[in-house]
Amino acid sequence: MINQLQDYNPSGVGEINGNLLGLPCDYDSANLIVFAVPWEVTVSYGAGTANGPQRILDASVQLDLFDFDHPDGWKQGIFLVEIPQEIIEKNNYYRDLAAQIIERLAQGKLLTDTPDLTPVLTEINQASQQVNQWLFTQCQVAMNQGKQVAVIGGDHSSPLGYFQALSAKYPNFGILHIDAHADLRDAYEGFEFSHASIMFNGLKLPQISKLVQVGLRDISHDEVQMIDESHGRIVAYYDPMIKQKLYGGTNWIELSREIVNHLPEYVHISFDVDGLDPKLCPNTGTPVPGGLELEQVFCLFRELVNSGRKIIGFDVCEVGDGEWDGNVGARVVYKLANLMDLSHKQ
């Protein structure tokens, strides 16, 4: 498929052509390359997010392309690399093995009890590392060609290889993290690359100078301690505190600007949809009451762009296996694609 965007009618019917939004472009002609990582091996509550990329793809062709922030954003060319069937098959295999470990731990038993599950845990950690390496390589190849890159998970462990690729290119960047959870657990349930450990693992990269987390409301004592003892490297905006300030009359625009001011010039946005009110993402892996409205988060992202900072990448994770979830997820992906493009044009 050659780039046919110059002749494309953005008001026409979305074509089901295997690409996001039905846009008529391919890897070579697109500016933004999107990688799907259908991986949720370590999910500890609800499953289904491995189907999130497909749900987003299916819903995306129903979206109208006019974007209030960047009406011509679609012209950049957006291409979703084919969802890798091999990773789906590996996910299904290792997900069943991981469930045995999770069940054993939930029963208060040791992995070394009979049958010994420690070799299974080692195998799962190695398989997760292979997915990370695959994504790192794919992202680096695209970025070396001058492409922008984005990732759609799977669970929130999905973008680690992408963080590593960004770290190879940018000596200093921050992460703006939308989530109900801090994801700062060290090898949660023994899984080195757990969905609950993505930011713990990300912070091993010294290039990530700042982590600003927004919407947190389901968090462990150890994670709060890690935030408090990070000497400002991690800044948390807890959902109850956000609500208390808004109820007291604080302006969300002002609060958004305060949040943005913690971030360096280059910013990656890591968006776990369970940071939103669960009415928007009912089938996400670990839903939590409370959370943010979609337009509220978009307002925050606009303030990020308005500040002159550059969005160098984004990931959207934990989109559930439901039609409505895919609808919301597709809108998040398209908005971030447009705001990232806009941030580099200003």
**Residue 186 marked ligand-binding:** no
**Residue 315 marked ligand-binding:** no
Which H or E run includes 174?
Answer: strand 173-178
Q: How many residues does the chain have?
A: 346
**Residue 262 marked ligand-binding:** no
331 Cβ neighbours under 8 A, 6+ residues apart: 63, 294
Q: Is the distance from CB of 55 to CB of 318 less than 8 angstroms?
A: no
The amino acid at 119: P
Sheet containing 234-238: order of strands: 78-80, 32-37, 148-153, 310-317, 266-272, 173-178, 208-216, 234-238
With both helix axes pointing from N to C terminus, report the angle between 323-345 and 294-306 in degrees, rounded to the nearest 10.
10
**Residue 179 marked ligand-binding:** yes
Residue appearing with tokens 């921050």? 174
Extract the tokens encoding 42.
Answer: 């370590």
Extract the tokens encoding 214.
Answer: 């927004």
Which DSSP string do the residues of 29-48 spell out, in sequence order? T-SEEEEEE---TT-SS---
Residue appearing with tokens 């599950």? 117
**Residue 181 marked ligand-binding:** yes
Cα atoms found within 13 Å of the Cα of residue 218, Cβ hemisphere only: 15
Question: What are φ and ψ of residue 182, in 5° steps?
Answer: -80, -25
**Residue 177 marked ligand-binding:** no
Annotated binding-site residues read 156, 179, 181, 183, 272, 274
Annotated binding-site residues for Mn(2+) read 156, 179, 181, 183, 272, 274
